[in-house]
Amino acid sequence: MKLSTTEEVLMNHLWTLEKAFMKDLLDAYDPPKPAATTLATLLKRMTDKGFVAYREFGNSREYYPVIAREAYFAKHVNGLIRNFFNNSAAQFASFFTKETDMSAKELEELRALIDQQIEKKKG
């Protein structure tokens, strides 16, 4: 299941804060801040989708993410590779390295990361 763009913005705030009450989430937004009712609606949808849960403290709810940022991102990158690159990580890597504005230094860092992963898989 996927989050909408507005849900992703809210989820990013929640990942950063790790746990938050409604006031904390509102404070995380730059002006113009969304209405509290808008956030409440988004949080309800995200809870129904299984991305967010909460603990109740009297009349207040403390929200926290159920899914880690890395897990969410990994799922979407894998979906992108599957749907747009014929399930080929090599095609994705080729596109990524050619079409992004990476410096030679960044490409070298990427190569070092790939070399590390190759060694891990061999060992």
The pLDDT value given to residue 76 = 86
The pLDDT value given to residue 2 = 85
Confidence of residue 96 (pLDDT cuts 50, 70, 90): confident
The pLDDT value given to residue 79 = 87
Separation CA 108–CA 97 (nearest Å):
11
pLDDT at 1 over 80: no
Separation CA 14–CA 8 (nearest Å):
10
The pLDDT value given to residue 123 = 82
Most confident of 51-55, 89-93, 110-114: 51-55
Separation CA 21–CA 64 (nearest Å):
9
64, β-bridge pairs: 53
The two most distant CA atoms of the chain are separated, in Å, by 55
Could you read off the pLDDT of 77-95 as tens digits, one per residue? 898 899 999 999 899 988 9
Query: Which CATH number applies to 5-65?
Result: 1.10.10.10
The pLDDT value given to residue 35 = 96
* Beta strand extents in the chain (DSSP E only): 52-57, 60-65
Across the chain, mean pLDDT equals 94
Q: Count Cβ neighbours within 10 Å for each residue of 86-117 and write b for 16 or more, e otherwise.
A: eeeeeebeeeeeeeeeeeeeeeeeeeeeeeee
pLDDT at 102 over 80: yes
